[in-house]
Chains A and B, each alone.
Chain A
Amino acid sequence: DGGITQSPKYLFRKEGQNVTLSCEQNLNHDAMYWYRQDPGQGLRLIYYSQIVNDFQKGDIAEGYSVSREKKESFPLTVTSAQKNPTAFYLCASSIRGQGLKATQYFGPGTRLTVL
Chain B
Amino acid sequence: SQKIEQNSEALNIQEGKTATLTCNYTNYSPAYLQWYRQDPGRGPVFLLLIRENEKEKRKERLKVTFDTTLKQSLFHITASQPADSATYLCALDLARSNYQLIWGAGTKLIIKP
Q: Please tell me which stretch of B13-21, B62-70, B76-84, B94-102 contacts chain A, meaning at least 4 of its Cβ atoms lie within 8 angstroms of it.
A: B94-102
With contacts A99-B93, A102-B32, A104-B46 taken as known, whether A109 is within 8 angstroms of B41 at the C-beta atoms is yes
Chain B count of residues within 8 A CB distance of the other chain:
25
A97 at interface by CB-CB < 8 Å: yes
A-side contacts of B91, CB under 8 Å: 104
B41 and A102 contact, CB distance less than 8 A: no
- Which single member of B8, B43, B93, B104 contacts A102 (CB below 8 Å)? B93
Residues of A with Cβ closer than 8 Å to B? 31, 33, 35, 40-43, 45, 48, 50, 56, 58, 88, 90, 92, 94, 96-109, 111
Question: Could you write out 27 A-B pairs with CB less than 8 Å apart?
Answer: A33-B100, A41-B105, A42-B4, A42-B89, A42-B103, A42-B104, A42-B106, A45-B100, A56-B98, A88-B41, A90-B43, A90-B44, A92-B43, A97-B99, A98-B32, A98-B93, A99-B51, A99-B93, A102-B32, A102-B99, A103-B46, A105-B46, A106-B43, A107-B43, A108-B42, A109-B42, A109-B43
